[in-house]
Amino acid sequence: MDAYIQETLETCGKSPISGEQCTCATSAEDLIDFVVEKLGNHVSVWSTESIEGSYENATIGAMKLIHGNLSEPPALCHSMPFPFQIYYCHILQKVKLYVVHIHGSKKVNHAIMACHYDTSTWSPNHLAFKILGYGPGLIEVCHWINENGVVWTKTQG
């Protein structure tokens, strides 16, 4: 647990990458204040329905774009391990959001996936590049919004 707490402290203490706006929200009020300051009062919130796996084979079903406006970035808030609730919220340019239906024999999950279409300012040491074998600006990076993560978008209208 100490390593996870240390990682949270490092994440919250680091400088944002170029073009990123971020905060570590330590209360619901801080989180809402960040979202309203950056996106305004009219927002939609998205989260993965369940992270409880079925421990069986699953298939990816329908995938639906829920936010595709690359000029109005969403706010992604990731729950961080700590003795009390902390959300690392950040806004990066050129992000699309999808809801993905995952089917097992017993249930369907609706997972949220964020795709970053501009990774040119990311660190070459980012875990995604280590796993995928590419570097900044060479590929797009998509990831699931996991347990207790939330994504906020401006409501169109």
DSSP codes joined into one string, 45-94 = EE--S-----SS--EEEEEEEEE--TTSPPEEEEEE-SSS-EEEEEE-SS
Q: What whole-number distance in Å separates Cα of residue 13 and Cα of residue 16?
A: 9
pLDDT in tens, 80-131: 988 888 999 999 999 999 999 888 776 778 899 999 999 999 999 989 999 9
Which residue has better confidence, 40 or 147? 40
Q: What whole-number distance in Å separates Cα of residue 16 and Cα of residue 24?
A: 12
Map out the domains of the chain as residue ranges.
Answer: 2-154
SS3 129: helix
Q: What percent of the residues of the chain are helix, what percent strand, and what percent coil, each to the nearest 5?
A: 20, 35, 45
The confidence score (pLDDT) of residue 51 equals: 65
pLDDT in tens, 42-56: 999 999 887 666 677
Phi, psi of 108 (to 5 degrees): -120, 135
Q: What percent of the chain shows pLDDT beyond 90?
A: 61
pTM for the structure as a whole: 0.86
Q: Which tokens belong to 93? A: 């340019």
Q: What whole-number distance in Å separates Cα of residue 129 and Cα of residue 39?
A: 29
